[in-house]
Homo-oligomer: A and B are copies of this chain.
Amino acid sequence: MKLVALVALAGMLWMSGPQARQAQASAPETVAVETAAGVTAAAAPVVAGEAAGEGEADHAEDEHHGPDPASFFLVIIGILVFAKVFGEAAERVGQPAVLGELVAGLVLGASVLGVVPATGPIAEVIHLLAEVGVAILLFEIGLETDLKEMFQVGASSAAVAIVGVVLPFAAGFAYWFYADPSIGAQPDGITHGIVSVFVGATLTATSVGITARVLTDLKLMHRAESKIIIGAAVIDDVLGLVILAVVSGLAGGATLSAFGVARTFTIAVGFLIVAVILGNMVAPKLFRLIDRMRVRGVLLVSAFCFALLFAALAAKAGSAMIIGAFAAGIVLSSVNQFDLIVERIEPVADIFTPIFFVSVGAAVNVGLFIPGGPDFNAAVLVVGAILVVVAFFGKLLAGYVVGWGKEKLNRNAIGVGMVPRGEVGLIFADIGRRAGILSDETFSAILIMVIVTTFIAPPLLKVVFKPTADDIGAPQPSGGHGH
């Protein structure tokens, strides 16, 4: 029954997705028929506009450039329904729901069903909604984060993050520079050294989103290991900004400047600190004020805007949006209406976050893995496999720099938690290709590394983190209950 519905939906979406513009174009025709009269191009589309229950007067606008609302609705429906059905399937086979959402994205992506387009107006809208989704996710993680606990694990997180960046970089660079597996033609004017540095850099990324979501799905956010992982992942995002800036400089043929590197680093770290300190000073007053407001939904809207504002300011300041959203969550975890905020933001997160994970999955070109397919290349798969090994052990070993003291820590869990490269890895790889540093073959091999590390992390985390009795009763504000 569920599958039948799914197939039917897939068919409908298959209709709506790629042919969105066509459907748009046909709407006026329908009306022309209905009026059984020659309706001019000037008038007819507006009838279609009305049929779509327009909310603004500028529909001349979206009729030319913007997607038609009905087609947009169908794409959103496809994303959410597939995300939930695949997420449910994943949980039924004992996997985290996020794995199902990534697979849903794979299926809906341009390389399979094409329901989630890679370019065009709908792609842009989905992209923006995905940004809201990841921001709200990190906001929720921040809400669950106790600053004191973060400081307690701060040193451990920093150690894991730094080693988790140095090891993969060194190993990746060494492999590429000495073993020289160069696949595809070496782009003009790019030395083997630069390519090697770049390959190393792409191995350093960590996707806090994937791991955080898995830990939430598995109800393990309260574990010491989880706090270390989240802290390390956030630090990795900061380091990622620095590495990305440096690598981009190299891509542009720039010579490195210690000042420039230091500055990028300072801005990224500084924002997080300043945001949390200032936030903690302002938020309590602000939310006492909001508590006196009576209009519907004011608390939720305020929290939602608070998260988006911090995210936007972080980006404007040259830091990462998710760092800002995470900071916003940490700040609001200390206000009086905390419980209500957690309760109210959850349904909003339920709508937006799947859009992010489906988007990540949709960016994958399945053709890479299909023997005989146009994009298939055995050599690429081999090199990709080697990069996967380097990427995996580089982060896994990073987990072993902590937990040597009296406290017993699950080092494998910490290491595995750092493995997924996710969307950050995709971005790293994409710069290299667009800057002409990576041949298409090298790009594909890196892409395989990103995909595999992203998809194996959820099931592996489930294995290395063996839920203990005390996890069951533990507080799980944002995870847990079916609806």
Does A112 count as interface, using CB distance less than 8 angstroms?
A: no
Give the residues in chain B near A83, CB-CB below 8 Å: 301
Give the residues in chain B near A424, CB-CB below 8 Å: 50
Interface residues of A (CB under 8 A from B): 1-2, 5, 23, 27, 30-31, 33-40, 42-44, 46-47, 49-62, 65-74, 76-77, 80-81, 83-84, 87-88, 91, 97, 100, 118-119, 121, 123-125, 127-128, 130-135, 217, 237, 240-241, 244-246, 248-249, 251-257, 259-261, 263-264, 267, 285-286, 289, 293-302, 304-305, 308-309, 311-312, 315-316, 318-323, 337, 340, 344-351, 354, 356, 359-360, 362-363, 423-424, 426-431, 434-436, 479-483
Give the residues in chain B near A50, CB-CB below 8 Å: 240-241, 244, 320, 424, 427-428
| B73 in contact with A309 (CB, 8 Å) | yes
Known A-B contacts A36-B259, A252-B44, A423-B54; the reply to A301 vs B88 at CB < 8 A is no
Give the residues in chain B near A253, CB-CB below 8 Å: 38, 40
| B123 in contact with A124 (CB, 8 Å) | no
| A37 in contact with B123 (CB, 8 Å) | no
| B23 in contact with A316 (CB, 8 Å) | yes
| A362 in contact with B56 (CB, 8 Å) | yes
| A296 in contact with B264 (CB, 8 Å) | no
| B322 in contact with A37 (CB, 8 Å) | no
Pick the 3 closest A-B CB pairs, nearest first.
A37-B254, A297-B350, A36-B260
| B43 in contact with A431 (CB, 8 Å) | yes
Give the residues in chain B near A315, CB-CB below 8 Å: 27, 51-53, 68-70
| A1 in contact with B351 (CB, 8 Å) | no
| B293 in contact with A434 (CB, 8 Å) | no
| A84 in contact with B38 (CB, 8 Å) | no
How far, in whole Å, are A231 and B482 apart by their CA atoms in the complex? 35
Q: Which residue of B lies closest to A119 (CB)?
A: B61
Known A-B contacts A59-B430, A88-B295, A296-B479; the reply to A39 vs B248 at CB < 8 A is yes
How far, in whole Å, are A40 and B406 apart by their CA atoms in the complex? 50
Choose among B30, B300, B309 the residue that contacts A351 (Cβ–Cβ < 8 A).
B300
Known A-B contacts A50-B244, A316-B23; the reply to A70 vs B254 at CB < 8 A is no
Give the residues in chain B near A57, CB-CB below 8 Å: 363, 423, 426-427, 429-430
Give the residues in chain B near A309, CB-CB below 8 Å: 73-74, 77
How far, in whole Å, are A88 and B424 apart by their CA atoms in the complex? 41
| A128 in contact with B125 (CB, 8 Å) | yes
Give the residues in chain B near A293, CB-CB below 8 Å: 84, 88, 482
Instruction: Say how far A435's CB is from chain B's closest CB, in angstroms.
Output: 5
Q: Which residue of B lies closest to A46 (CB)?
A: B431
How far, in whole Å, are A351 and B321 apart by their CA atoms in the complex? 20
How far, in whole Å, are A321 and B51 apart by their CA atoms in the complex? 7
Known A-B contacts A34-B264, A123-B58; the reply to A39 vs B348 at CB < 8 A is no
How far, in whole Å, are A302 and B84 apart by their CA atoms in the complex? 9
Give the residues in chain B near A51, CB-CB below 8 Å: 241, 315, 318-321
Give the residues in chain B near A58, CB-CB below 8 Å: 118-119, 123, 127, 363
| B39 in contact with A254 (CB, 8 Å) | yes
Known A-B contacts A37-B252, A260-B35; the reply to A297 vs B483 at CB < 8 A is yes
Known A-B contacts A128-B66, A294-B88, A319-B51; the reply to A300 vs B42 at CB < 8 A is no
How far, in whole Å, are A483 and B291 apart by their CA atoms in the complex? 9
Q: Which residue of B lies closest to A432 (CB)?
A: B43
| B81 in contact with A305 (CB, 8 Å) | yes
26 cross-chain CB contacts under 8 A: A27-B315, A31-B248, A34-B267, A35-B245, A35-B249, A37-B254, A38-B252, A42-B434, A44-B248, A51-B321, A52-B315, A53-B135, A53-B315, A53-B423, A55-B356, A61-B118, A61-B124, A62-B123, A69-B131, A70-B311, A74-B312, A76-B305, A88-B293, A298-B483, A300-B351, A301-B351
Known A-B contacts A58-B363, A252-B44, A296-B482; the reply to A69 vs B121 at CB < 8 A is no
Additional 10 contacts, C-beta under 8 A, given A57-B430, A97-B296: A23-B316, A40-B435, A50-B427, A52-B321, A55-B134, A58-B118, A58-B123, A60-B434, A62-B123, A100-B295
Give the residues in chain B near A261, CB-CB below 8 Å: 35
How far, in whole Å, are A286 and B9 apart by their CA atoms in the complex? 14
Known A-B contacts A34-B267, A43-B435; the reply to A56 vs B320 at CB < 8 A is no
